[in-house]
Structure 1
Amino acid sequence: MTTMKEIAQATGVSVSTVSLVVNGRDQGRVKPDIAKRVRAEAKKIGYRPNPLARSLRTSHTRIIGFVSEEVATTPYAGGIIMGAQDAAARLGYMLITVSTDGVAEEEREFAALKRYGVDGFLYAKMYNQLADVPPVLRQLPVVVANGIERTGMVPSIAPDEYGIGYNATKRLINAGCQRIAYIGDQDPILAQGLRFKGYQSALGDAGITADPKLVANVGFNQEAMDAVEAMIEAGNPDGFFCFNDSRSWYVYQAAARRGLTIGRDWSLVGVDNHRVFAETLAPRLTTIELPHYEMGYWAACKLVSMIEHKDESPALHTQTRAPLPSLQAPRPALIHCQLIEKDSVR
């Protein structure tokens, strides 16, 4: 196993100097040319820091606890875990993931993670909502992913739900639609209210008067299909913004019953870029993608910056589908959601 002593001998510097460089603490302490030479030698001979030894020196285990509420079992939201894991790995941390269901189970999982000596917690929600971080987690650095921490005291990252509604509606307006329907969620969740406000604002900015007959907030199954049919008959829409991809299915069915074609006779934008609907609907559905991977990536970078008391993390600059906000963004940090152009908008 390669040691710092070998690097010191090869470069003609002290072991303490090598330690500063390989542990990223050389700035202002080691001359840049020396640090560069040490890093080159470490890379050449394949040096890897011993995480156990480093944790004993620094009192940090470089382990992050990822606590989720059914996120691990949700197909597309699982991207949050992937993003967090990728960022943690780039920063030299390991991620331990637990999925909880209920207060008692949460407390057991929190206790187990604390026994591992985690340096901080990522607290992820299944969908964007106001989140109450359990007091036991606040004893260490914590960041909320895919939710907005209620008090504003804990950093959190969430999709820009208002922007989703605004951009989806604007895309339909740019396609020439004048009577744009909104098919929303009947439950008063956070995303429903914000996406509807974005829809209304885009109409207003384009000089289009919002028509209540063009709004249907629905659940699922036949009752929802009937409500969408009634809205179409009363409002005569030429474009549709749907709260999510699954509700877009009702519009496809309604078009088929009338002998109309999505993307030609009616234009439609959904939300989620859900794999099942993306692969089965024809013509393919234009949709807005929720940035699960990016939220997990940002949350892990933010958490590490808190653990290490740094303002920015070099790992923040990575190739992602949506641009990441600054780690110093106001709370909550909101992340832009990309519109994925396909075939359902004329």
Structure 2
Amino acid sequence: MVTMKEIADSLGISKSTVSLVLAGKDAKRVSPELSARVRSRAAEMGYVFNNLASSLRTNRTRMLGFISDDIATTPYAGRLILGAQDAAGALGYMLLTVNSNGSEESRASEIDGLKQYGVDGFLFACMYNRFTHLPEGLKESSTVIVDAAERDGAAPSIRPDEEAIGRTATARLLDAGCRRIAFIGSHGPMEAQRGRLAGYRHELHDHAVAFNPDLVVNVEMGRDGVDKVHDLVEREHPDGFFCFNDARAWYVYEEAARRGLNVGTDISVVGVDNHQMLAEMLSPKLSTIELPHYEMGYWGILKLVEIVEGRRLDDARIPTMRAPLPSLDERAAEIPCTLVDKESVCARC
């Protein structure tokens, strides 16, 4: 097995310098050029970090827990977990992932199980953006909330900028020349509904387009969505549609087909989610705003490791992402979301 001393000898430097670099403690203590040489030589020589020895010295296991509130049932869980795993791996940590069924008893059991492994901290992920409360078992642990937030901001958190989603989608439709823009919303007191509707109204106001409440309909999935979108189009004749999610955009496509209207030519549609099946399979392909699940998972781990190690990660190497990560100085971070322009917005409505 390759040792730190062997790496140090091959480079003509001290073992302590190699140790600082491979333990991720080289920021402002070792030059970036030398740090890069140490990491490169360690990889060439096949150095394997000894997590057990490190945990005995530092009283840390370099394991992090990811506990979710039914998120594994959503189509976006994979991206959120992948972002967290990639960040953990890049920082020399292992991620242990568990999913509760939403009950307090199940959640407490999963948290206790992760604590038995000695995890250094937790990501607590929710299945959709909302205000939440940390489970009792996490209140005394280093924890970051992902895709949700606490109202009092006690725990660090990251979630999508919902108002910016509404602004971005509405701006895209306005830029295409649409002026009678409908909002196909969702029922329930969700933060996503509140924020997206607010962004829609603010963007209309900024473009001197009067808000018309008759162009707003909140629909349930299924027959309710079909009927309400039909009634809306019959009554108001919108030229653009901002849909709460890609699933609700399907009702607009269906209504357009019944009326002989061409999406992307006669009317324009923008959804939210960039759902792998819907956004790509609808014809024409749906222009949509992608929720940054990978980025939220990645940021959550960066923030958590800063807390666990008590140091800034200004030197962390962050891969190219579709959405820019917020500053790690933020405790209640909101991350911008990216418009993925496809074929459902016409050049000029």
Query: Shared fold (TM-score greater than 0.5)?
Result: yes
1:23 is aligned to 23
Shift in Å at residue 28 of structure 1? 6.6
Q: Which residue of 1 aligns with 2:180?
A: 179
Q: How far, CA to CA, are the matches of 2:29 and 2:211 in structure 1?
A: 63
Letter of the structure 1 residue corresponding to residue 265 of structure 2: R
Q: TM-score if structure 1 supplies the norm length?
A: 0.94
| 1:244 equivalent in alignment to 2:250 | no
Residue correspondence of structure 1 range 315-330 to structure 2 within 5 A: 315=316, 317-329=318-330
1:122 aligns with 2:126: no
Structure 1 pair 214–307 and aligned structure 2 pair: CA distance change class (3 A): same
Alpha-carbon distance in structure 1 between the residues aligned to 2:21 and 2:68: 36
What is residue 216 of structure 2 aligned with on the other side?
215
1:280-327, Cα deviation, whole Å (9 max, x unpaired):
211111100011111001101111111111223533622111111111
Range moving further from structure 2, 312-321 or 47-56? 312-321
Q: Tell me which residue corresponds to 2:156.
A: 155
Describe the SS at the equivalent of 1:274: coil
1:285 aligns with 2:286: yes
Change (3 A) 1:242 1:21: closer
Are 2:243 and 2:249, in contact at CA under 8 Å, matched by a contact in 1? yes
Query: Quick one: which amino acid aligns to residue 208 of structure 2?
Result: G
Q: Secondary structure at the match of 1:163?
A: helix
CA, structure 1 residues 249+25, in 2 after alignment: closer, same or farther (shift >3 Å)? closer
Q: 1:1-346 maps to which residues of 2 (within 5 A)? A: 1-11=1-11, 15-26=15-26, 41-101=41-101, 102-315=103-316, 317-329=318-330, 331-346=331-346
User: Aligned in 2, Cα 1:47/1:217: closer, same or farther, shift over 3 Å?
Assistant: same
How many residues are aligned here? Answer: 345
1:224 to partner: Cα distance: 2.0
Higher alpha-carbon deviation: 151-160 or 41-50: 41-50
Does the aligned pair in 2 maintain the 1:301–1:316 contact within 8 Å?
A: no
Residue 38 of structure 1, CA deviation: 5.3
Residue pair 2:280, 2:286 contacting (<8 A) in 1 also: no
TM superposition shift of 1:27: 5.7
Distance 2:211 2:165 in 1: 18
For the residues of structure 2 that align with 1:226 and 1:37, how far apart are their CA atoms? 64
Mapped contact 1:272–1:289 kept (Cα < 8 A): yes
Q: Aligned Cα RMSD in Å?
A: 2.0
- Report the Cα distance in structure 2 between the residues aligned to 1:31 and 1:278, rounded to whole angstroms: 46
Larger deviation: 315-324 or 53-62?
Answer: 315-324
**Equivalent position SS for 1:261:** coil
1:145-200 Cα distance to aligned partner (Å, 9 max, x none) = 11112220111000010000011011100000010000100122110011000000
Amino acid at match of 1:319: T
TM score, norm. by length of structure 2: 0.93
Shift of 1:225: 1.3
SS for the counterpart of 2:119 is: coil
| Secondary structure at the counterpart of residue 77 of structure 2 | coil
Inter-partner Cα distance in structure 2 for 1:311 and 1:177:
46
Q: Secondary structure at the match of 1:302?
A: helix
Cα displacement string for residues 17-63 of structure 1 (whole angstroms, at most 9, x for unaligned residues): 54334324456767888767755653442222211100110001000
| Distance of 1:226 and 1:35 partners within structure 2 | 62
Q: 1:183 to 1:8 in 2, by over 3 A?
A: closer
- Structure 1 pair 37–296 and aligned structure 2 pair: CA distance change class (3 A): closer
Distance 2:36 2:258 in 1: 69
Work out whether residues 71 and 99 of structure 2, in 8 Å CA contact, stay in contact via their aligned partners in 1: yes
The structural deviation recorded for 1:260 is 0.6
SS of corresponding position for 1:148: coil
User: Matched residues in 2 for 1:163 and 1:246: separation?
Assistant: 20
Partner amino acid, structure 1, of 2:47: Y
- Where in structure 2 are there 5+ consecutive unaligned residues? none
